[in-house]
Amino acid sequence: MEVIIRSSREEAEKMTAAMLATAVETKPDCVLGLATGRTMEAVYAELARLHRDKGLDFSQVCTFNLDEYIGLAPDDPNSYRYYMQEKLFDHINIDPQRTYLPDGLSKDIKQEGPHYEAQIRYRGGIDLQLLGIGEDGHIGFNEPLSSFASRTRDVTLTPETIAQNSPMFQRPEDMPRRAFTMGVGTILEARRIVMLVTGAGKARVLAAAVEGPLAAIVPASALQFHQNAVVIVDAAAASELRMQEYYRWGFENDPRWEGYR
């Protein structure tokens, strides 16, 4: 796992978007794993700008989202399908048939996970997986104590996650208590992982995930297993990292990052 510290949230967001753009330019038919949430909004706005102003071509790209609420229709303003359409898909030239999310209205909840896994395999696996991190260390909706070998499945959300996400609903009490999520094991099979973390509110859990022990209580710590994972953070999120001076030195002296500095 590599940690890259940028001085501001905007720099961290732009670098994350640039890495996704490079993946698309390098492999036009790449498979991207995508995330939702406030952290990702600026990333998607930048990708839409690169498409509009620089001609970044998404016509052959395929995407798989991490998760979706159970019980929400695709046109529900709080569904993650709606979020993706509004924040990214409606602003780029991606084929709607190549954009996948779990079906929140699936009639067979226990089969939706295996079906989603089969779709990922059919498309050749995920080339680059974008992640955020929850305040309790979750990735996707893999809540604390999720198995590092878990696959896409239905899960019950924790009270902490409900408290964090329910204000986004017009009526917070309407937030679903269950969701589909890619498993930790599914995420770890991506060929490359980029996790974006910003803000002082994520500093403690970031330090636990990156520098703490491998522990199911912090699902994001599983990324320590991955051989090609990059964690991009702003200075506020990095404030509790013990090795932050080393991370800064590595970024400034590694020629691989020259184009991002």
Domain regions of the chain by residue span: 2-260
Catalytic residue of the set 68, 138, 226, 234: 138
Letter string b/e over residues 223-255, b meaning 16 or more CB atoms within 10 A of that residue's CB? beebeebbbbbbbbbbbbbeebeebbeebeeee
**What pLDDT digit, counting tens, does each position of 163-217 carry?**
989 998 989 999 999 999 999 999 999 999 999 999 999 999 999 999 999 999 9
Does residue 174 have an active-site annotation? Answer: no
Q: Is-catalytic flag, 136?
A: yes
* pLDDT tens, residue by residue, 36-80: 999 999 999 999 999 999 999 999 999 999 999 999 999 999 999
pLDDT at 259: 86
Q: Would you call 115 a catalytic residue per the annotation?
A: no
The domain defined by 2-260 carries CATH number 3.50.50.60: no
Active-site residue (options: 136, 154, 160, 211): 136
Distance from C-alpha of 163 to C-alpha of 249, rounded to nearest angstrom: 38
Q: How far apart are CA 64 and CA 162, in angstroms?
A: 23
State the pLDDT at residue 49.
98
Burial class (CB in 10 A: 0-12, 13-18, 19+), 112: buried
Confidence (pTM): 0.96
Given a contact cutoff of 8 angstroms between Cβ atoms, the answer to whether 209 and 178 are in contact is no
Q: What does the pLDDT look like over 72-130, one tens digit per residue?
A: 999 999 999 999 999 999 999 999 999 999 999 999 999 999 999 999 999 999 999 99
Q: Tell me whether residue 53 is one of the annotated catalytic residues.
A: no
Alpha-carbon gap, residue 260 to 103, rounded angstroms: 37
Residue pair 148/184 in contact by the 8 Å Cβ criterion: yes
The dihedral built from the CA positions of residue 151, 154, 156 and 157, taken in this order, carries a sign that is positive
- Given the residues 67, 68, 112, 234, select the one marked as catalytic: 67
pLDDT tops 90 at residue 260: no
C-alpha 164/C-alpha 126 separation (Å) is: 28
Catalytic residue (choose from 46, 103, 127, 143): 143
